[in-house]
Amino acid sequence: MSHDLYERAVAIAERAYAPYSNYLVGAAVRTRDGKVFEGVNVENAAYPLGVCAEKSALVKAVSEGYRPGDIDAIGITASPCGGCRQWLYEFRIGEVTFRSAAGELVTYSAAELLPDTWDLPA
């Protein structure tokens, strides 16, 4: 399991920019070759324009040349929203670890978090 990534996410969550909700989220993704990219949520006064921590970390990885299938795990300080679940699914992430609403550390695959997924037809 990706408890180490979860701990990294907890450690960086304080860097989040969340002046409207004060809800700080951190995420850390690990690539198949062992590189780790961290991200935090960044809010904006035009609320839908904010960026979730998961997306922030994934964008860092993509900007370094990683693609779907290259990332094997992510740790997040909160349960991912529906939009982030689609991102996690698209990147085919096998281990998604976060603290559940019940307070326990859980790990699922992206496919388990987003059943009956939508894919762009070929």
Give the residue numbers annotated as catalytic, written as ranges.
Answer: 54
Q: Which residues pair with 106 in a beta bridge?
A: 98
Query: For 121, what's the count of Cα atoms within 13 Å in the CB-facing half-sphere?
Result: 0
